[in-house]
Structure 1
């Protein structure tokens, strides 16, 4: 690839979305993609997050329109459920495409014998 080609091609990391890419938020979105909805306690356990930390990340995702949060009861116990919105599904797909492009770029560089 020439220098001119590299200048025209954006580095894949420029396509990463800071809202989505943060570890806990990416975990929330990917877990929510696997089910119609997921319960707060399950997310907390799976992601190793505290109540406060998880709540903060859920608020960012909800304010961005990437998830919908529903509160209700399971029996007498209050519950919070999280579901991926269509916008959230699109954002997750975009993030995964950017990560795949980054991996392809690194694989190509490795196959070309480049070493650091």
Structure 2
């Protein structure tokens, strides 16, 4: 059963979209890597992850490496599905816009 592509309001903010897009390329990433690669502050990433976790897009796992606390995040299966649908909807919007542009002769 295939779903019609649709925009996902939970990832329309550029920061949220950047986080889920980054996480789509890996199984799991540590907080520091996501923060540094996306050039976010700790607080901005923390708030973003909280919202994405609440919406079911990501899971957050906390643990230790030696005696140092670490946080890892991963995209859920549902998060991957919703991201794919969101991107397909964006592509369709762009394709529809291009199709609506009249051809010009030079």
Using structure 1 for the length normalisation, give the TM-score.
0.78
Contact 1:20 1:91 in 2 (8 A): no
RMSD of aligned C-alpha atoms?
A: 1.7
Indicate whether 1:100 and 2:100 are aligned: no
Q: Which runs of 5+ in 2 are unaligned?
A: none
From 21, 26, 49, the counterpart of 1:30: 21
The number of equivalent residue pairs is: 100
Greater relative contact order, per chain length (Cα 8 Å cut-off, separation 6+): 2
**CA-to-partner distance for each residue in 1:1-52, whole Å, 9 max, x for gaps?**
xxxxxxxxxxx9xx32221121111111111111110111111111111111
Structure showing the higher helix proportion among its residues: 1
Choose which of 57, 62, 67 in structure 1 pairs with 2:48: 57
Aligned equivalents of 1:83 and 1:38: distance in 2?
6
